[in-house]
Amino acid sequence: MTTPNTTATATTSATTTPPWVLDFVLLAAIWGSSFLFMRMGAKEFGALPTAGLRVGIAALFLLPILAYQGQLAGLRQHWKLLFAVGLLNSALPFACFAYALLSIPTGLTSIINATVPLFGAVVAWVWLHDRPQGLRVLGLLVGFAGVALLAWSKSSFTPSASGGASGTASTATGWAVLASLAACLFYGIAASFTRRHLAGVPSMVLATGSQVGAAVGLLPFTLWYWPSQTVSASAWLALLALGVLCTGIAYVIFFRLIARRGPAKALTVTYAIPVFGVAYGVLLLGETVTGWMLVCGPIILLGTALSSGLIGGRVTR
């Protein structure tokens, strides 16, 4: 027999949404918007200044937090490795995506971004000899088949006079797709690099140090390619949102999600990002979702889920 207080407590517990669910949805929504903001910034700043400003703003946002936590010594101790991971995990992929978004839609780019775990699994297999088994191998084949089908339908190596995503003269979409895939490969290399050389380093040190390293690495290119024309206030606001919201705050939420659910489950946020990325593109930019994207997108997500063990395998903490 239960008392009224016990019943009320059980009812409240059953109807209250766990905090990690809110973090998961919020993080997917924020990272899904990053493609929108990158495109808005790259149209006026160009690809390299967009990437440089993003990491520079994020570094300025995260450094005071790290100082407040008393972890600045970690930056000095690991600065060489943090610089390297900053190039691999932020500078290079952010620049690649910003370049790609000058020619292809944000929705397509966000779908390609979902292949990060696929590249991560391949790099870990080759570099760390972490060989996938069973359904994970099948997942790699399915995922990359979906990527090949999607890329084949969207790739043209002839420059477009009417433009792609930006509505102005653009580079060929084929190079943009390859740049997006290169960004995912860099993410995969960064994951194995971090696992091999920076295991045990506090998460906030990694996040802040990587942004500082990326900012330093991109600084010469940001200055060299700085736009000669006046940049609009909307482009500046997009870069501010990209640096503070999509990078700085997103990292804080991501590490909080890791603390609550573990790293493997936190990384499954990758599967939800395309939903928001496509939705933002359709609702805010008037982009079109083709039938082929609706076919290839789920194939890519299925392959990614299989290769990471989310389906048919054990996802460990």
HSE toward the beta carbon, residue 35, CA cutoff 13 A: 34
Answer whether residue 216 is part of any domain: yes
**CB atoms inside a 10 Å sphere around CB 260:** 15
The region that residue 311 occupies, defined by phi over 0 for left and psi between -120 and 50 for alpha, beta otherwise, is beta
Helix, strand, coil % over all residues of the chain, rounded to 5: 75, 0, 20
**CB atoms inside a 10 Å sphere around CB 252:** 17
Listed in sequence order, the DSSP H helices in 69-114 are: 72-77, 79-86, 92-100, 106-113
pLDDT classification of 119: cutoffs 50, 70, 90? confident
* From 141-145, 274-278, 313-317, the region with the lowest mean pLDDT: 313-317
Answer whether residue 56 is part of any domain: yes
Q: Residues of the chain with pLDDT > 90: what percent?
A: 44
51-64 per-position pLDDT tens digit: 999 999 999 999 99
Which residues does 236 contact at the CB level (< 8 Å), separation at least 6?
none
Per DSSP, the chain holds a count of helices (H) and strands (E) of 16, 0
The region that residue 175 occupies, defined by phi over 0 for left and psi between -120 and 50 for alpha, beta otherwise, is alpha
171 token code pair: 């580079």
Number of domains in the chain: 1
pLDDT classification of 167: cutoffs 50, 70, 90? very low
pLDDT classification of 16: cutoffs 50, 70, 90? low
pLDDT of residue 4: 44
Answer whether residue 13 is part of any domain: no
Residue of 261 and 299 predicted with greater confidence: 299
Domain range for 212 = 44-307
Answer whether residue 182 is part of any domain: yes
Which residues does 297 contact at the CB level (< 8 Å), separation at least 6?
111, 114, 146, 150, 274, 278
Answer whether residue 16 is part of any domain: no
Q: Residues of the chain with pLDDT > 70: what percent?
A: 85
Cβ atoms of 164 and 170 within 8 Å: the answer is yes
* From 29-33, 133-137, 246-250, 277-281, the region with the lowest mean pLDDT: 133-137
133-166 per-position pLDDT tens digit: 778 788 888 878 887 887 776 666 565 544 455 4
Residue 163 per-residue DSSP state = -
In a 3-state reduction of DSSP, which class is residue 130? coil
77 token code pair: 């101790």
Answer whether residue 33 is part of any domain: no
Average the pLDDT over 107-136 and give the result. Answer: 84
Instruction: Tell me what the pLDDT averaged over the chain comes to.
Output: 84
Which residues does 109 contact at the CB level (< 8 Å), separation at least 6?
35, 97, 100, 101, 180, 277
Answer whether residue 301 is part of any domain: yes
180-189 per-position pLDDT tens digit: 999 999 998 9
pLDDT of residue 161: 47
* From 60-64, 242-246, 289-293, 295-299, the region with the lowest mean pLDDT: 289-293
Average the pLDDT over 67-74 and give the result. Answer: 94
pLDDT reading at 316 higher than 80: no
193-248 per-position pLDDT tens digit: 988 998 888 989 999 999 999 999 999 999 999 999 999 999 999 999 999 999 99
Answer whether residue 145 is part of any domain: yes
